[in-house]
Every structure is written in structure tokens, then in C-alpha cells.
């Protein structure tokens, strides 16, 4: 029985590892597209959502400007944290980083958690099936 339990435990660990690696790869491939489109289509709302992380002591200000020498020009953004005393700090890079980390987790966790639970539960059915077979053999031999 201990050999079977060890095999089930090894199967669970291996299944969990495979599920997490596959989930990490799928999330790595997809989070950039999802996050990039979301940041490009609704930047102010995205940065407002992560403002408590990037600017905990002040108020976040979002500015969008168009720099152009010729038409149509390019649009750029500046995200600043304004503290109570009026100090402005550029938090554009950290805001984009936090947003992309959030999108990565939003892609990774829905894949890894249910898959990990399945990887833990499925090997237990194999142990239960072997246990029932052993009990039926013991009853049959009586």
C-alpha cells in the first residue's frame, strides 16, 4: 500500500508540475496581446485600476499628448503621481509593469488552479481503483 501511495504522490507532483509549466507558457504567450490591447484601448481606466499600487500616497494623473512634426503624429502618455505637497513623480514605467504583471496573473491563475486541482485529484482515483480491486480479490479468496 505504501508503494502505491508513493506512486500516487509522485504522480500528483509530476502532474502539478506539468500543469503549472503548461499554464505558465500559455500565459506567457497570451498576456502581452491581452494586456497590450487593453492598455492601448483604455489606458486611463487601466492605470486608474492599478493606481493604489503605483501611487499609494497621492493622486494619479494621466495625460495623453500628441507629438507630431507631420500629420498624424504619434500619441504618447505620461502617468504621474501627485502627492499632497504637490510633488510630481513619473510612474509611467512602473504603471505599465504592474498592469502587465496583473494581466499575466489573470491569464495564468485560471489555467493553473483548476488544472492543479485536477492533477491532485485524478491520481487519487487510480489509488482508489487499486484499493477496491485488492478488496474484491480478498473477498473472492474467502
DSSP one-letter string for 18-80: HHHHHHHHHHHHHHHHHHHHHHHHSHHHHHHHTHHHH-SSSEEEEEEEEE-SSSS-EEEEEEE
pLDDT at 10: 81
Res. 2 pLDDT band, cuts 50 70 90: low
- Is the pLDDT confidence value at 138 over 70? no
How far apart CA 130 and CA 137 sit, in angstroms, is: 11
How far apart CA 36 and CA 50 sit, in angstroms, is: 15
pLDDT at 21: 92
Residue pLDDT, tens place only, 32-74: 899 989 988 888 889 989 988 988 888 889 888 887 777 777 7
Amino acid at each position: 500500500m505504501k508503494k502505491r501511495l508513493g506512486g500516487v504522490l509522485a504522480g500528483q507532483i509530476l502532474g502539478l508540475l506539468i500543469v503549472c509549466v503548461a499554464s505558465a507558457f500559455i500565459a506567457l504567450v497570451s498576456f502581452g496581446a491581452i494586456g497590450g490591447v487593453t492598455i492601448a484601448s483604455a489606458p486611463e481606466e487601466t492605470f486608474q485600476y492599478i493606481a493604489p499600487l503605483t501611487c499609494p500616497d497621492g493622486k494619479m494623473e494621466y495625460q495623453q499628448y500628441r507629438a507630431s512634426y507631420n500629420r498624424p503624429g504619434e500619441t504618447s502618455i505620461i502617468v504621474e503621481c501627485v502627492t499632497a505637497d504637490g510633488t510630481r513623480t513619473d510612474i509611467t514605467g512602473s504603471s505599465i509593469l504592474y498592469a502587465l504583471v496583473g494581466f499575466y496573473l489573470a491569464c495564468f491563475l485560471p489555467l493553473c488552479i483548476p488544472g492543479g486541482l485536477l492533477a491532485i485529484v485524478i491520481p487519487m482515483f487510480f489509488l482508489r481503483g487499486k484499493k477496491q480491486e485488492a478488496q474484491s480479490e480478498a473477498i473472492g479468496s474467502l
